[in-house]
Structure 1
Amino acid sequence: MAHNPVNHPARPIYRAIGGLTGLYLVIFGVLGLVETSGSELFAQDQTITVLGQGTNLGHSALAAVLGVLVLIGTGIGRNVDATLNKWIGYLLMVVSLAGLAVIRTDANYLNYTIPGVVVTMLLGLVLLMAGMYGRVGSEDEARAWRDGRLVL
């Protein structure tokens, strides 16, 4: 049995938080696409920053696509948003850790900076939280989850 709650009372708030996170990713991605237009896809120019984070065309496009996916999931609702938020949260955390590992090397293809790593990790954690607490289920599933919690 999963340890994540079903029909959490604050589920609409978590869904809104996930949507706002997706909106941030879209805004960052679009601003980054505008700022880096005309440059190479994976340019490693540390002077290009958007909202305080280093970026390039590839990083901006990735952020915009992930943000649109989160917004689509939020619009659909039900468990689609919870699943998308959870997996995109995991992806953002892995990408941020990989960015931290290669930040001062030639393998820094997404032009990460320390603020970019921190923000990406926080966005991943927020989406993961929204995904964990945003699940919807029937009353029987919610009752089974509550009963399973009460057993010591």
Structure 2
Amino acid sequence: MRSKLVAAAERLFDRHGFTATGMDRLTEATGASSRTVYKHVGSKTALMATVLTKRDRRFMRRLDVRSVDALFAALEDWVRVEGARGCLFLKTYGETGGDTPEIAQVVLTHKDAVRARIADIVALDIGGSGDPDLTEQIVILFEGATAAAVYRGAEAVAAARAAAGILVSRMRP
């Protein structure tokens, strides 16, 4: 029951946002009573933190790549499979103003992990220990492509992928 609730909540939060998704909408989507929902997931905030934690694991598995080009290919695939509604982490953080500790912690941990993973990928791609400026540029392209995909679709990721390719090629020996 818990996994069904978390999966339904992820779909609803992703589509409608954290604030607009009430427990009534969750109970309707799962066919469970509100009592059952609270029993299995606790509060709405705890449920959101669980959703984000599970999404983080799934997303980070996609980023198990060895080049910047493959990084953007993974993002293109994510957009095609999961949809292009923007970053659920940033949307939730924005909706809560960063003032909900359980959510803020998951979001900031995720964003730190993504940045660290991109730094590792950049280092692999250009050789050596990487380049902090290039890493920051790739992070911004990655985040920007995720946001622009909301209204431009996978083409936004393809454009960011091409720009990243140019940046990386300039840094290779």
TM-score by length of 2: 0.35
Q: Larger % of helix: which?
A: 2
